[in-house]
Structure 1
Amino acid sequence: MRALVLDRPGGPDTLRIAELPFPEPDVGQVRVKVAACGLNPVDYQLARDGHRDWTWPHVLGLDVVGTVDALGPGVTGARLGARVAVHADLRRPGGFAEYAAVDAAALAEVPAGVDAVTAAALPCAGMTAYQAVVRRLHIGKDDTVLVTGGAGGVGGFAVQLSARAGARVLATASAHNADLVRALGADEVIDYRTQSVPERVRELTGGRGVDAVVDTVGPESATAYLRLLAHGGGLAAIAGRPDLTAVEPFTMAPSVHEIALGAAHSHGDTRARADLSAMLTELLSLTAQGHLDPRVMRTLTLDEVPSGLTELAGRHVRGKLVAAVA
């Protein structure tokens, strides 16, 4: 099969097209004939450092969409020919290839009316936002939430899901992305380049602060915005934990939630992997009903994936990039 491979740890420019043997599904796996695979920051981050469980050459790509082509031993909950999507195990060869072997427990069926490229934009970024907004922070109609990086993949989904829950949404974005982020559902957009985010949040909330923060930027950002929480508020850390010493103990009583979606494969059990399926099924349903915009900004060929990952590494991509493999 044709695949995009990494021969050793390195940047996106070290990826190359190669011919590999067809993968054979192991116990609990299915083989998927790949139609599309989403690009995510974790792809170039892992490529740079490699992973102790990889064998070489390795195939990247976590957000796999395609058709079930073969069933591994012990698989009973999947059917041949089904259109499926999955957030795959980063320890295993991924979806930047014509075929991929993936965990059957994590599969979600793609509903009619949702094409492969659209579905491939959902798993990593959409499920990360869903886990933060719905599962951890329980954002509702009486809440005010701050989302950082509102124009990005995770941030854009978090804005949409929070707005759909009825919350008042404050989001950070550059000025040229402000209209886009408002269109996703943000009530207020704060230009992090020209405005003090803490000062603006205090102004917009009358000094109270926010009930929740979804931080997609990093530990320093999470630490700074932890201080913006109202009493009993919560922060979901997507890109790194905040320093809890920034808040005096037994005052604000914040809750902090580390989001590590892929760890359902490496540190979870069958129940955790099945929950990946449940979350993705919900996102696919919302998309099919027109309630969620996956925001595919551009579709790439397999050969264009390295340049797409380089673009992602610049941290200014709006929405999602997806490789059409088939």
Structure 2
Amino acid sequence: MRALVLDRPGPPDSLHPTGLPVPEPGPGQVRVRVEACGLNPVDYQLAAAGHPDWSWPHVLGLDVVGIVDALGEGVTGTQVGQRIAYHGDLRRPGGFAEYALAHAAVVTAVPSALDAVSAAALPCAGMTAYQAVMRRLRLGKGETVLVTGAAGGVGGFAVQLAALCGARVIATASARNADHVLGLGATEVIDYRSQDVANRVRQLTGGRGVDAVIDSVGPGSATSNLGLLTYGGRLAAVAGRPDLDSVPAFALAPSVHEIALGAAYTHGDERARADLAAMLADLLALAADRRLDTMLARTIALEEVPAALTELAGRHVRGKLVASITSGPVSPTSPGRHTP
């Protein structure tokens, strides 16, 4: 099969195309003929750092959509020929290839109203936002939430999901992205480059502060935003933990929620992995019903992934980039439940 591989840790431009054997599904796995794979910051971050569980060459790509073409032993509830989507295990080979393997518990069916490329824009960023908004913060109608980095993937999905919950959304973004973020459902957009975010939040809330924060920028931003919470407020930290010592003990009484989507594989159990599929199913249904914008910015070819990841690393890409991957049929090389 055709694949984009990394021979050793390095920058995105060290990725290169090559041929690899088509993988065979083991017990509890499905094999997917990949149609599309979404790009995420974690791809270039992992490329640079590597992972101790990898064998070389390694295939990146966590957000996979494709057609199931083989089932491993013990797999039920998933059918050969079914279009599925999943957020992959970063320890395993990913979706920048014509075929990939997935844990059967984490895959979910793609609604017929949604094409493969649009569906592949959802998993990592969408599920991270979903975990923050729906699972951890449990935002409700009438609450006010601050979303940082709102023009990015996680931030953009967080704005939309918070608005769907009936929350008032204050977002941070550059001035050039303000209209885009307002279109996603934000009530107000603060230009973090030219405005004092903390002062503006206090002005917009009459000094009260916000009920919740979704921070997708980093530990420093999360720490600064802790002080903007009202009493009993909640903060979801997507890109790094805040310093709790920055606020007085037993005063604001904030709750901090670390968002670690991929840890469902490394530290979670079957229930945690099943919830990956449940969250993605909800997102796909919302997108199919046109209640959630997948924010697909551009579709690229597999060979364009290295340059696109370099662009993504510049942190100024609005929305989502997705690689369209096509493949021809292969003959199965082992007996059992394979369909050519």
Q: TM-score range by the shorter chain?
A: over 0.9
Match of 2:320 in 1: 320
Q: How far apart, CA to CA, are the structure 1 residues paired with 2:190 and 2:25?
A: 48
Question: Which residue type is aligned with residue 302 of structure 2?
Answer: L
Q: How far apart, CA to CA, are the structure 1 residues paired with 2:195 and 2:305?
A: 35
Q: How far apart, CA to CA, are the structure 2 residues paired with 1:176 and 1:229?
A: 27
Match of 2:25 in 1: 25
* Residues 248-273 of structure 1 deviation map (CA, whole Å, 9 limit, x = unaligned): 11100100000000111111111111
Q: How far apart, CA to CA, are the structure 2 residues paired with 1:172 and 1:215?
A: 10
Alignment of 1:123-162 (within 5 A): 123-162=123-162
CA RMSD of aligned residues (A): 0.5
Quote how far apart the aligned CAs of 1:77 are.
Answer: 2.0
Match of 2:51 in 1: 51
* Deviation >6 Å, runs of 4+: none
Alignment of 1:58-207 (within 5 A): 58-207=58-207
Match of 1:36 in 2: 36
Q: How far apart, CA to CA, are the structure 2 residues paired with 1:26 and 1:257?
A: 35
Secondary structure of the corresponding residue to residue 139 of structure 1: coil
Q: How far apart, CA to CA, are the structure 2 residues paired with 1:279 and 1:236?
A: 17
Alignment of 1:255-294 (within 5 A): 255-294=255-294
Q: How far apart, CA to CA, are the structure 2 residues paired with 1:169 and 1:79?
A: 40
Match of 1:223 in 2: 223
Quote how far apart the aligned CAs of 1:100 are.
Answer: 0.1
Gaps of 5+ in 2: 327-340
Question: Which residue type is aligned with residue 54 of structure 1?
Answer: W
Question: Which residue type is aligned with residue 195 of structure 1?
Answer: Q
Question: Which residue type is aligned with residue 63 of structure 2?
Answer: D
Secondary structure of the corresponding residue to residue 280 of structure 2: helix
- The alignment's TM-score, normalised by the length of structure 1, stands at 0.99
Match of 1:14 in 2: 14
Number of corresponding residues: 326
Same amino acid, percent of matched pairs: 71
* Residues 254-309 of structure 1 deviation map (CA, whole Å, 9 limit, x = unaligned): 00000000111111111111000000000000011110001100001000000110
Q: How far apart, CA to CA, are the structure 1 residues paired with 2:162 and 2:76?
A: 36
Q: How far apart, CA to CA, are the structure 2 residues paired with 1:107 and 1:191?
A: 38
Question: Which residue type is aligned with residue 138 of structure 1?
Answer: R
Gaps of 5+ in 1: none
- The alignment's TM-score, normalised by the length of structure 2, stands at 0.95
